[in-house]
C-alpha cells in the first residue's frame, strides 16, 4: 500500500464541481474512473477541497491509496489518456501514508477574474465575469485588504454551510491588473485578477467576498464598511454570491511538499 498525491488542472465549465455528488459528473468521478481503468482498483480519492459547479482549478491536489506498482512519474500521462480533455493531471509523487490532501493543507489560494474592459474576451469568457460598467477599482482593492485577518466569516458563508466553526484566517489579498488588452482612449479598465490566500475557506466564501467587492466597485458600499459586515455575523449583511465561472482554485500549499505545477 502506498499513498500517491497528484496535482490536477480542470476547466470546471462542464462539471458539477470537484467532489462526488449523487448526480455524478464531477471531476472526482472522472478521476476515480480513470484510475480504476488504469489499475483495476476502485480508489477513493481525497481532494484538498471542494470546488463549486463551474469553478476551475490550477493545481488542485488529491491523494489516494493504491497497491499499483506503477512509478509515480508515469501516472500523469497514463491518466490523461483516460480523462476528458478538460481535466489534466500535471504531477504525481509518493507521499507518507499519513498525508491527506485536505487535512494536511496549510494554505489555499483562489483567483477571481473580472474583465472590466468594454468587450468580453471571446476566448476566456468561460473563466471571467464581464463587467464593462464603471468600477471604482481602487475602492475594491482597499475593501479586499479588509478581509485579511482571523475572523468569524459567517456573513461571508453560504446559509447552508454545515461547518460548526466559521472562524478562518485570510493571510493575503492581492489584486493584479492586466492591461495587455486595454485599448487607449476607451472605457476599458483592464482585467482584474483578485488573489486571496487563507488557511481555509467556507462554502461560497470567495464568491460572496467578490459579490461584495463588486458592490463596493459600483459605489454601493464604502471600503470601510467591510469590518462591520464581518462583525455582523449575518449572511444578509454581505453582498450577493458572484458567479462561479470566474473563480479558479489557484493552488494548495503544504509544509513539506512542494508542487511545481504552475
Active site residues: 52
Q: Of 3-11, 38-46, 93-101, 223-231, which segment contacts a second copy by CB under 8 A?
A: 3-11
Among positions 69, 71, 85, 255, the unique one binding a second copy when judged by CB under 8 A = 85
CB of 232 to a second copy, least distance (A): 37
Return the residue of 68, 80, 161, 169 that touches a second copy, per CB under 8 A.
80
Site string for a second copy, 109-138 (x = CB under 8 A): ----------xx-xxxxxx-----------
Rounded CA separation 188/182 (Å): 6
118 within 8 A of 133, measured Cβ to Cβ: no
Entry field: residues in the chain: 262
The answer to whether 119 is annotated as binding is no
- Smaller CB separation from a second copy, 87 or 135: 87
Strands (E), 20-120: 46-47, 56-66, 87-95, 107-115
Q: Which string of x and - marks every residue 164-203 that binds a second copy (by CB under 8 A)?
A: -----------------x-xx-------------------
The residue whose grid cell reads 507518507 is 96
Q: Is 69 exposed, middle or buried (0-12, 13-18, 19+ CB in 10 A)?
A: exposed
Give whichever of 115 and 154 is closer to a second copy, judged by the CB atom: 115
Our measurement of the distance from residue 193's CA atom to the centroid of its chain's CA atoms, rounded to an integer in Å, reads: 13
First to last CA, the chain: 29
List residues near a second copy by CB under 8 A: 9-11, 56, 76, 80, 85-90, 119-120, 122-127, 181, 183-184, 260-262
Amino acid at each position: 500500500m502506498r499513498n500517491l498525491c497528484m496535482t490536477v488542472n480542470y476547466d470546471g465549465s462542464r462539471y458539477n464541481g470537484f467532489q462526488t455528488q449523487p448526480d455524478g459528473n464531477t471531476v472526482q468521478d472522472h478521476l476515480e474512473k480513470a484510475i480504476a481503468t488504469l489499475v483495476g482498483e476502485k480508489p477513493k480519492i481525497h481532494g484538498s477541497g471542494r470546488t463549486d459547479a463551474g469553478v476551475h482549478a490550477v493545481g488542485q491536489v488529491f491523494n489516494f491509496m493504491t497497491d499499483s506498482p506503477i512509478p509515480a512519474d508515469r501516472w500523469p500521462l497514463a491518466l490523461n489518456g483516460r480523462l476528458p480533455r478538460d481535466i489534466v493531471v500535471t504531477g504525481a509523487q509518493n507521499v507518507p501514508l499519513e498525508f491527506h490532501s485536505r487535512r494536511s493543507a496549510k494554505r489555499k489560494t483562489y483567483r477571481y477574474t473580472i474583465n472590466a474592459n468594454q468587450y468580453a474576451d471571446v476566448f476566456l469568457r468561460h473563466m471571467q465575469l464581464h463587467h464593462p460598467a464603471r468600477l471604482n477599482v481602487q475602492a475594491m482593492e482597499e475593501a479586499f485588504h479588509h478581509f485579511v485577518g482571523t475572523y468569524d466569516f459567517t456573513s461571508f458563508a453560504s446559509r447552508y454551510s454545515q461547518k460548526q466553526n466559521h472562524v478562518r484566517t485570510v493571510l493575503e489579498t492581492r489584486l493584479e491588473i492586466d492591461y495587455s488588452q486595454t485599448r487607449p482612449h476607451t472605457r476599458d479598465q483592464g482585467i482584474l485578477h483578485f488573489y486571496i490566500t487563507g488557511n481555509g475557506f467556507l462554502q461560497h466564501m470567495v464568491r460572496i467576498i467578490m459579490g461584495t467587492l463588486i458592490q463596493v466597485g459600483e459605489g454601493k458600499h464604502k471600503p470601510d464598511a467591510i469590518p462591520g459586515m464581518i462583525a455582523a455575523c449575518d449572511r444578509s449583511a454581505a453582498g450577493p454570491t458572484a458567479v462561479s465561472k470566474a473563480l479558479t482554485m489557484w493552488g494548495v500549499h503544504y509544509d513539506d511538499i512542494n508542487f511545481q505545477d504552475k
